[in-house]
């Protein structure tokens, strides 16, 4: 019996990485998804358990191993059983230690930041 396979755009949608299947297909056809290290350009590319996908999601890059194929696009807890993350939680952007998440820096803070960045010499 042949190993079960599923279209890559359908799997990404079922695993809830993208809100719609057409968004998943657009990411794949745009060349933003890699399957086992190779760029995939066709949304109809077949994937199965054990394959590794690398793709951007928002401001982070996700690297996941497909554990199983889904039957449907179910609730989030069900979708999370379809894959395992290979990269643990990462910050979306490097944090600036001078502002500690206080929002937009003041003019005084920006001047201090500009002075600290100017090359000396």
pLDDT digits (tens, 9 = 90+) for 39-78: 999 999 999 999 999 999 888 899 999 999 989 999 999 9
Query: Which residues, 6 or more positions from 4, have their beta carbon under 8 angstroms from its beta carbon?
Result: 48, 49, 69
Residue 97 lies in a domain: no
- What are 17-43's pLDDT values in tens digits? 999 999 999 999 999 999 999 999 999
Structural domain that includes position 52: 6-91
CA–CA gap between residue 107 and residue 105 (Å, rounded): 7
Output the CA angle 41-71-27, nearest 5 degrees: 20
Residue 20 lies in a domain: yes
For residue 60, give the CATH number of its domain: 3.10.290.10
- Find the distance separating the first CA and the last CA of the chain, reported in whole Å: 71
pTM beyond 0.75: the answer is no
């Amino acid at each position: 019996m042949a190993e079960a396979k599923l279209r890559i755009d359908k799997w990404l949608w079922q695993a809830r990485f993208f809100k719609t299947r057409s968004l998943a297909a657009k990411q794949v056809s745009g060349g933003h998804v890699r399957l086992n290290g190779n760029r995939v350009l066709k949304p109809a590319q077949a994937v199965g358990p054990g394959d590794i996908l690398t793709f951007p999601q928002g401001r982070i890059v996700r690297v996941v191993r497909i554990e199983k194929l889904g039957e449907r696009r179910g609730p989030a807890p069900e979708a999370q059983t379809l894959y395992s993350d290979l990269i643990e939680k990462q910050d979306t952007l490097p944090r600036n230690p001078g502002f500690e998440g206080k929002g937009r820096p003041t003019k005084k803070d920006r001047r201090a930041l500009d002075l600290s960045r100017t090359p000396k010499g």
